[in-house]
Amino acid sequence: MMLEVPNTNQLKAGISKLGATDVLEIEAFVSRLVQQQAVDIALARRVVATTSCVHCGAENPVRWGRSKAGTQRFRCLNCKSTFGATNNTPFFRLRNRHFWKPYLGLMGQHIALRRLRSDHGINLSIPTLHRWRHRFLAPLVANPTTPLAGIVEADEKFFRTSFKGSRGWKRGTPPQLRPARRRGVAQRQGLGKEQVPTLTAVDRSGAIHQALMPDLKHPTISKTLKPWIEPGSVLCTDGNHAYPKAAAKAKCDHIVAKKGGQNATHLSIGRIDAYHRDVENLVNRRCNGVSTRYLMNYFGWARRITQHKPFGNDLLAELLA
C-alpha cells in the first residue's frame, strides 16, 4: 500500500501544532538535511532567484527542461536564447558535482592538491584541481564596496615575479627575455622586473582592500587609495613620500606611523604587517611560490581566512548567489 506524502502546506500545518521540543528536533533534522543536500538546495535557491535573462536582461524567462546533470535550464522569450542556473557562476559547465562541497570545505585549510587526492578522496587530476581552485578563488578577489573608515593602515609589499607553469621557454616564446629559473629570492630588491608591488589597506573593523600595482608612484597610489578610503579618515603609513599626496586627494589626514623601522607615534601599522606575513607565508611557503597571474587570487584567499569567513556550504551559497 502506497503512503500518501503530505504536501508543503500540510507539513507546515502539522509542524505548527507541535510542542517546542518536537520543533527543535525537526529543526536539527532539517539542518542535517540541508548539510547533506547543500548543492541541490543552493541550486534550487538560484533557480528561484532567476528572474531575468543572463544574455539580454529581459524579465521572466520560462523554464526550459534540465541538463544531463539535472540543472534547471531557462529560455528567454525576448532573445530566444537558453541558459542554465549555473550561468555566470564558477560552476558553469563544471562536472563532478559530488566533489563541490568537500572541495570548498577543505579550502580553508590550505591543503596541497596532491593531498586532496591521496588523503581526502577527491579523485580528480591535478590540473583539474588547480583549475577548480582558481575558479573558486577568482570571485574572492573583488574588494568590498564599503570604503575603509576611521584609522586606516596602508602599506606596500613586493613579491617575486613568477611565471610558474608557463611553457613559453620550451615553445620559444618566453614571457621574459631571460632563462627559466628556480624559485627563490630576487637578486635585486625593490621595484623592477624581478618583483611586483601590491598595495593593501585595512581599518580597525577588519575590512581589507588590496590590489596589484603597476608601480608605486604617487599618482598611481592616489588613484588606487582614493575610492578605498572615506573622507575624514586617518591614514597611517610608513615613510613613503607618495602617501601624504594620496591622503590629501582622499581628503583625509596622514600620519607617519613608522619611520626608519621604528614607531614614530602612538599609532602603528602592525595589523597590515601581520596580514602581509600571513600572505607571504601562504604564497612563498605553503604554496612554494605562485604565478604572478594568480597572485591576487591568493590575496583573496588569505583575506577570507584572516576575516574568519566560512568556507564549505557558506562559500557554495555565495558563489551561486
CATH architecture of structural domain 151-166+190-290: 2-Layer Sandwich (3.30)
In angstroms, rounded to a whole number, what is the distance separating the alpha carbons of residues 170 and 166? 9
Considering all CA atoms of the chain, what is the largest pairwise distance in Å, rounded to the nearest integer?
84
Residue 74 CB contacts under 8 Å (≥ 6 apart), including other chains: 50, 53, 61, 62, 63, 64, 82, 83, 84, 85
Query: pLDDT tens, 160-208?
Result: 888 888 888 888 888 887 777 776 555 565 666 788 999 999 999 999 9
Asked if 64 and 47 count as a contact pair (C-beta separation under 8 A), the reply is no
Query: Residue 298 has which C-alpha cell?
Result: 591568493
| 161 Cβ contact partners less than 8 Å away, ≥ 6 residues apart | 176, 186, 193, 194, 195, 196, 292
Quick check: pTM over 0.75?
A: yes
Residue ranges of the domains in the chain? 151-166+190-290
**What are 27's three cell numbers?**
529543526
Tens digits of pLDDT across the chain (321 residues) = 445 667 788 788 888 888 888 888 887 777 777 666 788 888 888 899 889 999 998 998 999 999 888 899 999 999 999 999 999 999 999 999 989 999 999 998 888 899 999 999 899 999 999 999 999 999 999 999 999 999 999 999 999 888 888 888 888 888 887 777 776 555 565 666 788 999 999 999 999 999 999 998 989 999 999 999 999 999 999 888 899 999 999 999 999 886 655 555 677 888 999 999 999 999 988 888 889 999 999 999 999 999 999 998 899 999 988
